């Protein structure tokens, strides 16, 4: 019985011996180049650059609708897609381009505030995008007077 264990152990050790196999030598250079190109493309994101991310309407009359445009440019190397725009309350309505924005192209987010409330207000609009960050936030401020 002891001999069987010794023989099994020797067979196991012999099967684990270094046979001089070089894994790096088996890499196909074409596959390596293709993998590198795919990795580079996977790391490319559009970049959205706004002229301003905050707009102050100043003093406005209660109930009077005001609006502004947040102009932007896609400074990335791939198309920019805005999939959603949501506001912090129903009194603020964003409008955004539904089509992809090509690299180097410009666009605008229209934000309409209905003038509800009283006093100093701050409202936000959150954009869901395909940028690396994934979201962008725009802010409007106003001093609403009755």
Q: Is the residue at 18 inside a domain?
A: no
37 located within any domain: no
Rounded CA gap, 85 and 135, in Å? 10
Q: Is residue 10 in a domain?
A: no
Residue 42 lies in a domain: no
- Tell me the CATH number at 54: 2.60.40.10
Phi, psi (rounded to 5 degrees) for 31: -65, -35
- For residue 16, being part of any structural domain is answered with no
The verdict on residue 5 lying in a domain is no
Q: Domains in the chain: how many in total?
A: 1
Model pLDDT for residues 22-33, shown as the tens digit of each residue: 555 666 677 767
Predicted pLDDT of residue 23:
58
Give the range of the structural domain holding residue 117, as residue numbers without chain letter: 48-145
pLDDT (tens digit, 9 = 90+) per residue, 81-137? 999 999 999 999 999 999 999 999 999 999 999 999 999 999 999 999 999 999 999
Q: What is the DSSP letter of 40?
A: H
Local confidence band at 34 (pLDDT 50, 70, 90 cut-offs) = confident
The pLDDT assigned to 125 comes to 99
Domain presence at residue 133: yes
Task: For residue 65, tell me if it sits in a domain.
Answer: yes
Structure-block tokens of residue 60: 């406005």
């Amino acid at each position: 019985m002891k001999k069987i264990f010794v023989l099994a152990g020797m067979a196991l050790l012999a099967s684990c011996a270094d046979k001089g196999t070089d894994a790096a030598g088996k890499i196909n250079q074409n596959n390596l180049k293709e993998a590198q190109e795919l990795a580079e493309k996977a790391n490319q994101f559009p970049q959205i650059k706004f002229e301003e991310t905050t707009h102050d309407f100043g003093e406005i009359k209660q109930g009077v609708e005001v609006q502004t445009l947040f102009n932007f440019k896609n400074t990335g190397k791939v198309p920019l897609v805005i999939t959603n725009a949501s506001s912090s309350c129903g009194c603020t309505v964003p409008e955004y381009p539904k089509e992809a924005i090509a690299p180097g192209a410009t666009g605008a987010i229209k934000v309409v505030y209905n003038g509800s409330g009283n006093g100093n207000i701050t409202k936000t609009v959150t954009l869901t995008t395909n940028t690396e960050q994934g979201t962008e936030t725009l802010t409007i401020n106003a001093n609403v007077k009755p």
